[in-house]
Chain A
Amino acid sequence: MAITVRRPNLSWSERAYLPAILSGMAITLRHLKNMLAGRTKVTMQYPEQKWDSYLPEHYRGAPALVKDERDRVRCVACQLCEFICPPRAIKIVPGEIPLGERFAKVEKYPEEFDIDMIRCIYCGMCEEVCPEQAIFLRKDYAITGLTRADMVHNKEKLIEIGGVMHGLVLKWNEQK
């Protein structure tokens, strides 16, 4: 269906073009002046220089699995992140923790946990949906690889990125 777009009604100064050309010239001249004075700040010499320390608290980088201070990978393979993930980047194979292991009480753990970083859109829904505070978007943004397989973060890689997080709710305690 064709949509008719109405042309804006231009004022006489806009129709004359000259004021717009002059204001553009002014900006160019300002930049020229700053450059000659050595006051430019826009370019950072990446990757020698990195802007990691300037990243805001809410920055959404690569998703990762965290451990708590008891050294337990907090994920219980509930697969809610797999369900919510808009680009379907997450794939989980759940498994059962054998009886007698330290966290056998939790019963379930991810046998495999893959995030395809080619698919990931860093939306943070996995972090938001996680009922176990197990997946967080960390500040890693430079995800590189030579093959498609390299770009899939497996469980080990995700735990490595995630690291240990303190101060989380220790839900699977003896009281429960």
Chain B
Amino acid sequence: MGFAYAKIELRNPRRADLRPMSVQALADSGANWSCIPEHVRLQLELEEAERREVILADGTRKSIPYVGPLEIRFENRLSFGGALVMGDQVLLGAISMEDMDVVIEPKSRKLSVNPASPNVASGFVGQTQSLQPPQTVNVQINGVWRQFPKGTRLIEACEQAGSYVPRYCYHKKLSSPGNCRMCLIEMGMPKVGPDRKPQLGPDGKPEINWMPRPQICCATDVSEGLGVRTHSPMVEECRRGVMEFLLINHPLDCPICDQAGECRLQEFSVEYGRQDSRFLENKVKKPKNIELGPRVTLDDERCILCSRCIRFSKEIAKDDVLGFVDRGSFSTLTAHPGKRLENNYSLNTVDICPVGALTSSDFRFKMRIWFLKETKSFCTSCATGCNTLIGTREDAIYRQTPRENDAVNSCWMCDYGRLNFDYLQSDRRLLEPLVRDQDRLQPATWSHALQSVAALLRPFAGWQIAILASGRMTNEELWLTARLAESLGATLIDIVPRSGPADDILLSADRNPNTSGARLLRVASESATVLQQIKESIYSGQVQALISLGENPLECGIAPEQLARLPLYIAMDLLSNNSTSYASVVLPSLGFAEKRGSMINGKGRLQRLNRAVRGPGEARDDWDILRSLIQAISGNASATSSQPAGTYTIEDVFRQMSEAVPELSGLTLSRISDLGVQVSNLDKTPGPPGEPAQEKVRERELEKHPQ
């Protein structure tokens, strides 16, 4: 700390008409802020920006006006800033002095320009990451030198180099405890000669000084000159040893274990283990078939103590309920006393469990995984749209698991969305079109049902018709819904908002998967104003015909007696509910796993649903129903009235839509990549946990068109 006197010039940069003030200032490096007396403020007409609390040398606190902007000049240096109005002399604080790159010479008590940079002020600046060229380091993996960005985990570097290193505890989205020891490798650093320089081999590359004992590569970052051997005899011996240790207390009940077939222990046992066991003693008994939570079953004997589930609960789900108790071979995974693993992300622990210790109570013993056909899709339970794999066998859905997509859901999904597929296999599914015939809904053929709808709608004018669309419909369906409204001349069209509590991880408050799509296609109104209008118009009797597409009007505030009074009510839905009995025509449609189509999630990412199972009974694809309806109403066979070309496939619908909607131009349904395409930038759903906020750049990741 030191102080000196210096002659400085003060100006108000906003007022060029005011003349600068030249003052003798006390430069005090012990004070943060510069201070000016009241008369300087008056002279320069500085404006008060805010009030600040200052601590004086005697410890008292005071509230002081902070004024600015103030331009300070000293010799060839300049600083813009603010000053506190206090005291009776100008005081130059440390911030301004740092800013001008001036120093106090303690000996002469003089302020002077930093002699190290006499002409231009210099200093340190922080650079943002993107401006820096990526730093790479050279790593030798199995004899081949490669470059990796600094900070890459060695285990990832090995994988990128094509030598997969087996691992149990390491998960790329979690921290690395390094406790399973499966990823042991041989490691070495460059040989250093007596001159402290790396010794070069005959090929001009540094020679490696191999360490005598193996190292884990999951908790090590790459560094310059690092050498790795992933398949040396020592490494293979290590893996065999680790496998043998992991298996001594493992029950080997693969025939009943749900993990069998996707079990790392099975896979690595085949690849790296030995055939037989040399263990003669009795295996340690641990609790089996424990209900760890409402959705997760634990078998402690199968657990290999990798702690992935513990780290997931702590780091991602932020619900630190799991832990190990006891020691040595008696170590046991358990929930903290009095707590259960019941957070909404508990089933992710089942996904990341490398063995069958944690199994899904819902999927338990239902189906062996080798029978499951996995279809890439995404979850339609909220606006996040977590990418999923739907596991099916013979038109029955058995499970949904998250699929990695760093732009949406990382590796996770919530339990609510994951288990929300039972309704597709419910007894209430509508299996055939129903047409009202003398007060009773009778099964009918599709052509009869569609013709009846057209005939029933004909007497009504456009202003008498309201369409209740759904935020659960795909873009193609919403597009055709808008065309349907056009051909009917109806203007009352809206989706039913659906919301629930959100969390900061993945679950969005908007429980409609495609609100963004409905907005983009102008089917949804802002804050459901049209929906309100529809309700009022039904109440007032203006609306005579209601078409509900996948929504239950009774659940969005229309009273049963109003619905009963409506001359015409047409319902297209998956399930029969309390409103379908009022309908004149019921059209059975398909659920998310039974059809193709695209949706736009809450962040503006266009994603594609793929068909995992066939629809039940005679239920038809929604877009097909809407297309046929438009044809029946407009009375021409050329698909939609406004489009000249025919609409024969869902690809045609998407093409028409992409021609009309600029956000979708250049896309086709097949060209949407499995990870989706960003089409607009919205920021509603929480980002994937542990990932930085998504860049607001319109990106186009187009997958090559198949064929």
Contact = CB atoms under 8 A, between A and B. Distances in A.
Interface of A: 76-80, 82-83, 94-96, 99, 105-108, 131-132, 175-176
Given A106-B256, A107-B256, A131-B255, A94 B371 contact: no
9 contacts: A77-B256, A77-B365, A78-B254, A78-B256, A94-B367, A95-B365, A106-B256, A107-B256, A107-B288
B371 A175 contact: no
B73 interface: no
B289 to A, nearest CB: 6
Given A77-B365, A78-B368, A107-B256, 8 more contacts: A78-B255, A83-B368, A83-B371, A96-B365, A99-B289, A106-B256, A108-B365, A176-B253
Q: Interface extent on B, as a size class? A: 10 to 19
B366 A94 contact: yes
A175 B365 contact: no
B364 interface: yes
Interface string B250-283: 0101111000100000000000000000000011
B124 interface: no
Nearest to B258: A108
A95 B256 CA distance: 10
B283 A76 contact: no
B60 to A, nearest CB: 72
Query: What 7 A-B pairs come out closest when comparing CB atoms?
Result: A78-B255, A108-B256, A79-B368, A94-B365, A131-B255, A76-B256, A76-B255
Nearest to A134: B255
Contacts of A82: 371
Contacts of B289: 99, 107
Nearest to B366: A94
A100 to B, nearest CB: 12
Contacts of B366: 94
Interface in B344-375: 364-368, 370-371
B109 to A, nearest CB: 86
Most A Cβ at <10 Å: residue of B253, B255, B283, B366: B255
B298 to A, nearest CB: 13
A161 to B, nearest CB: 22
Nearest to B281: A175
Contacts of B370: 83
Contacts of A94: 365-367
Interface string B430-456: 000000000000000000000000000
A96 B364 contact: yes
Given A95-B365, A175-B283, A80 B255 contact: yes
Nearest to B283: A176
A79 B288 CA distance: 22
B392 to A, nearest CB: 16
Nearest to A75: B255
Contacts of A131: 254-255
A96 B291 CA distance: 14
A78 B261 CA distance: 11
Contacts of A106: 256
A83 B253 CA distance: 18
A97 to B, nearest CB: 10
Contacts of A95: 365
Nearest to B301: A176
Contacts of A80: 255
A132 B255 CA distance: 8
Most B Cβ at <10 Å: residue of A76, A132, A176: A176
B296 to A, nearest CB: 15
A107 B288 CA distance: 10
Contact of A175 (B260, B282, B288): B282
A36 B688 CA distance: 92
A53 B90 CA distance: 119
A15 to B, nearest CB: 59
Contacts of B364: 96
A76 B253 CA distance: 10
A79 B256 contact: no
A99 to B, nearest CB: 7
Contacts of A132: 255
